[in-house]
Amino acid sequence: MAEPSKPLRIALAGLGTVGAGVIRLVEANAALIARRAGRPIQITVIGARDRSKDRGVNLAPYVWEDDMVIMGERDDVDVVVELVGGSDGPALSCARTTIEAGKALVTANKAMIAHHGLELAGKAEAAKVALKFEAAVAGGIPVIKGLREGAAANEIERVYGILNGTCNYILSTMEDTGRDFADVLAEAQAKGYAEADPAFDIEGTDAAHKLSILAAIAFGGKLDFAGVDAAGITRLRAADIAQADSLGYVIRLIGMAETVTTAQGKVLFQRVQPHLVPFDHPLAHVDGATNAVVAEGNFSGRLLFQGAGAGEGPTASAVVADLIDIARGEIAAPFSVPVEELEPMPRADAGHRSGRAYVRLMAADRPGVLAEITAAFRDAGVSIESLIQKGRSSDQGAVMVAMVTHEGPESAVGEAVRLLNGSDSLAEPPLVMHILGD
C-alpha cells in the first residue's frame, strides 16, 4: 500500500476574525480539502499578539509561537499564512523572513501587497516559492485567480468595480433610508461593518490598495499604489443620493484602472471616487457590504465577479483556496508575469478622459451667484445638460445647486472647479462625481 501523501503544514500568524475562520474551515472540511489538494492540509503552529484572548475555537491542538516573525524558520512549517495586517511592522517582517527561509507565504494583507508586493514577489521568484494573496482583494471572490488564470488569454482593457464593502453598505443604506452619511456611518460602526477609526475605508485608501493590485495583474504593469487618485465618500449628502435617484442613477464608490496608449507608449490611469452609476448597469444592483469587479477583455468581453468582499467565511475560503494551490505544487509568478517583466507605466493624467459629470455646489442664496457659477463653466468650455437648484438648507443659508454636464473632457470640468474654488459665493468646494459609462 502506498504511503499517504505528506501533509502541508501551516503556521497561522494572526488569530483575528479571519484566522479563527481559517481554523474552522480547515477543521470542518478537512477530508474534502485533502481530496482536492491531493494531500492533507494541517495547521501546526499558531501565534498572535494576545495569547489569552478567547477566539471561539479550540487552540489546544496547535503549537503556540510567541514570535510570529520567525514562524517561517521553523522545521515544522511549510507555509505561513500572514493575517496580522498593516503595511509594515510585524506583518512585513514575517513575510520577508518566511520567503527568505524558502517557505511559501499566503496573505490577506492588501496594504502590505500594495506597498511591498514587488519586493516580496521578487524574493519569492528568486526562492522558487509561492506568494499568494487572493484574500487581499474582494474577500471570497476569486477575482485574482480569474484575472491571472481564467482571463489569461485576454488583453484586459479596463478593470473597475466596488472594492470596499463598508462604503457600499453606507451608500446603499443612505439610498434605502434617506439618512445622512454621519448617521449611517455610526450605525455601520455599531454593527461591525465599519472600524472604530473608519478612515481607511471611507477615504478610499482601502479600495486604492486593492485597485493597484488588480491593475498590476490585469495589465502586467508595475504596482503603483502611489499613483492612485483616491477620494472617499465623506462629503456625500442624502440630497446627493436623492438627486442621483431622480436622474436615474445610484452612487457607488468605484475603483477604476485602465491603460491608455499614447505616442510615448502606454500610460496607466487609476482612480477611486464616488460615481453616478446608471440604474441598468450591473454595479447599480450591488447592495450592502458586497463587492463586485468588472474586467473587460478584448476577446472575453465584460466579466463580472461579485460576492462577499469581507467577513470570516469568505476571506477564510480565499486563504484556504490558496493553500490548496500550494499543496498541489502550483508556483506561478505572483503578478502573472515575472517581476522583471512587469512594464513600468507612467501615470496618466485624468484630463485625457471624456465623459459626463455631476457637480454639486452649496451656494449663497443671493442674486448673481448662479450667474457666477454658470459663467465659470462657460469659460472652462463645459456644456451643462441640466441644472437643479434646491431650496435653502441649514448650512448657513446655502442652497444646493446640482448640475449634470454634457459629454466632454474631464480637464474642462476641473478648470471650472478651479475657477470657482475660493469664491465667497460657495460655502464649500464643489463636489464632482463622474458618471459611469457603458
Catalytic residue ranges:
210
Q: How many residues does the chain have?
A: 438
One-letter amino acid identity for 242? A
Query: Parallel, antiparallel, or unpaired: how do β-strands 265-278 and 229-230 relate?
Result: parallel
- Angle (CA) 132-295-117 rounded to 5° is 30
* Secondary structure element (H or E) that encloses residue 434, with its range: strand 431-435
Asked whether 41 and 48 are in contact (CB, 8 A), the reply is: no
- Maximum pairwise Cα distance, the chain: 92
Asked whether 297 and 150 are in contact (CB, 8 A), the reply is: no
The SS3 of residue 62 is coil
63-64 sheet: strands from edge to edge: 63-64, 41-47, 8-13, 79-82, 104-107, 131-132
**Residue found under cell 493575517:** 83
Q: How far apart are CA 198 and CA 101, in angstroms?
A: 36
Q: What is the 3-state secondary structure (H, E, C) of 330-349?
A: CCCCCCCCCHHHCECCCECC
CA distances for 381 relative to 68, 239, 378, 388, angstroms: 58, 27, 5, 20
Asked whether 400 and 389 are in contact (CB, 8 A), the reply is: yes
- Secondary structure of the chain: what % helix, strand, coil (to 5)? 40, 25, 35
Asked whether 252 and 275 are in contact (CB, 8 A), the reply is: yes
Asked whether 423 and 372 are in contact (CB, 8 A), the reply is: yes
